[in-house]
Amino acid sequence: MTNSQVTRSWNWLALDSFLGTDASTWASLGWLIALSTLIWIVYALWRLGRRDAPLTACVAAVVLSTAHIIATQLVLGWLGLLTPLAIALVSVGLVAVTLGLGVLPHRVSIHAALRNAREQARGVTLPPWGWLIVLSHAAIVLRNVFYGWFLPPYDRDGLAYHLPIMASLYQAHSVAPIPSLSVWVRSYPINGELMQLWTFAPLGLDKLVDLAFLPGVIFGALALYGIARHFEASRAASLAGAAVFAFTPTVFLRQVGSYNDAWLASLFIMGVYLILKLAPHDSRSAIELAALSGLCAGVMAGTKYSALALAALLGALLVFRLLQGATPPADDMRTPAPRSARVKRVVAAIAVFVLLTGFLGGYAYVRNWIVEGNPMAPAQIALGGHVIWPGLEMEKILALDPGSLVEGLSWPARIGAAWLDRLAPLYDYNFGGSGPLWVFLGVPGLVYWAVISTRRRDKWPLLIIVGILLVFAATPDNWRPRFAVALLLPMAVGCALLLDRLRNWPGLLVRAELVLMIGYVAVATLPPPEISVDQLREFVARSDDRSRSAARVAQPDEVYSWIERETYSRPTTIAYGRRVDIYPLFGADLRNTVLHLHAPDESSWHAALEFSSAELVVTSLGSKEDDWTRTSLKFVEVVRAEPLAVFARR
């Protein structure tokens, strides 16, 4: 580090740099929090004016806010106007319109709803163990905020493609196809990255990108509580069921980072909750329910390929709800609508669902179809042995690393190894992470709910359980807990119903087991994965926001740290070759321009380097680009550390 950097890093408690964050960043942070909160509050008040229950209004507001954030950036990106100022102006405009047309005209009913909510809240009581769960979850959220605040992005997939996508969109001011050697950067759906871009744009720093999914996961747990209450579980038991979800390590560890599995599951849970709670008895309510469901499905479909199955399941549940709600309730004295009108209502609602799903989720698939020739690139799509779109077979995409602990094991054996946490480290981001609540409370809860629902012939529980199990069966590599988070919905609800059924000492034992397991996983996951205690201390005590860079945790750190030092005060342009994690090359403030050079052979590589503005080239040792750069007369090697090398322009 330079002398100026050292001075700045030791002044992290100074007036102009409190906690390593300077005054301008604090101001931008305040603006981001204020705008995000305002968007959510306005949508929540609008839904209260539509006579939603308080929890339903809050969950619907999260769905609307998420769709607002992604749709705003998508449209601006299509127009080539994806800048912080444009994002802010459009967002404020949409909030103003919603406030003027949806909130102010219904302020009397909103005031009444808020007053009733306060009165109801005064009468809510929880047992001591319930408050212990609430306080434990609050402590874990605060811990995750602490890690997200002080640590740079460090998870493997984030550095490889999630954050490079975000950085490329931000620097291009558009969502145009991204030129890259990595097929994942070129073809991966971008909704999750747009959520991260929302936290980056106002600050101009990646300080909060790892916390972009945290609010959604928290509200996923609240929606799960609401689903358990819908199926008549008590408040305390519903809280215990929600804890099965909230305290599963693969869920709360992914409140921080670029992995979006828990966020997707939370969106699905919120969609199911809204379908259960909102009654489509007339055309307007049916359209509103279809719109909220379509927003959930669209965000999910545009975030990850595997979420397409969850989006389809949400659509199927919506159709069943629309058909079920076509007849008014028994206490409704209005004359039932003609059959043709009811059919039109259902068809119109389904059309709204499909349109919104396509609008929010279809961009990446259309882009890939045009650019890659395969809407789900790089995966090969085949039907009945006939290849529809060529690509890599799923077995190759999800291939295990050599020497993996589960290599050679059968699917049931992998389930046992991953779900019983027999892998090392204890809560691995990729393989483990189920935790004891999932296994010892969730699985019995799922079985119990399935059995009692079959006996009672309850359609909704069976639809949810069978649908999620079918999605689980269709998900590749579903033995990994992070690919099966949606299973926690029936597990959690079943656990709540089972706990209500237990009386006396069996119930006491289960509640004690729940609290002990929560304490265990909280302590077992205390150190941040992949970050040493010494690194954490250094980031907290001696770093500012720019020097808390992914370059300091990426491997090999000799290469990335050298680039960080060289470009800290002198931004530059960097070209790269294949098998290079490119996000650490950008810098925490995306100050560096990172170039993909399309060059299929040595002569075109030399020509591209010569005519580009690249001052540095990063290559993987032994790659074609590495060999070609070594024969260039314009560049010389300056740093080497397995498996990368850096070349500088002479």
Residues contacting 322, CB < 8 A, separation 6+: 280, 286, 289, 290, 345, 346, 349, 350
Residue 411: its pLDDT value, please? 84
pLDDT of 534 > 80? The answer is: yes
Query: How far is the C-alpha of 223 from the C-alpha of 245, rounded, in Å?
Result: 11
Segment 518-546 mean pLDDT = 83
Q: Is 4 helix (H, G, I), strand (E, B) or coil?
A: helix
Burial (0-12, 13-18, 19+ Cβ within 10 Å), 591? middle
pLDDT of 407 > 50? The answer is: yes
Residue 643: its pLDDT value, please? 93
Segment 513-518 mean pLDDT = 92
pLDDT of 496 > 80? The answer is: yes
Residue 429: its pLDDT value, please? 56
Beta strand pairing call for 381-383 and 644-649: unpaired
Segment 191-218 mean pLDDT = 97
Which range has the worst mean pLDDT, 430-434, 456-460, 614-618? 430-434
pLDDT, tens only, 233-252 = 999 999 999 999 999 988 98
Residue 102 banded pLDDT, cuts 50, 70, 90: very high
Segment 627-639 mean pLDDT = 93
Cis, bond preceding 378 (omega within 30 deg of 0) = yes
Residue 588: its pLDDT value, please? 95
DSSP state of 178: P
DSSP state of 619: E
Segment 343-349 mean pLDDT = 91
pTM: 0.94
Residue 8: its pLDDT value, please? 44
Half-sphere exposure of 85 (CA within 13 A, CB side): 2
Cis, bond preceding 528 (omega within 30 deg of 0) = no
pLDDT of 218 > 90? The answer is: yes
pLDDT, tens only, 249-307 = 889 888 899 999 999 999 999 999 999 999 888 889 999 999 999 999 999 999 999 99
Residue 431: its pLDDT value, please? 67
Domain covering 547-649 in this structure, CATH number: 3.40.120
Which range has the worst mean pLDDT, 52-61, 308-317, 389-398? 389-398
Residue 56: its pLDDT value, please? 96
Residue 7: its pLDDT value, please? 40
Mean pLDDT score across all residues of the chain: 89
Show me where the domains of the chain are located.
1-59+94-124, 411-524, 547-649
Residue 6 banded pLDDT, cuts 50, 70, 90: very low
DSSP 281-337: -SHHHHHHHHHHHHHHHHHHHTT-TTHHHHHHHHHHHHHHHHHHTTSPPTT--SPPP
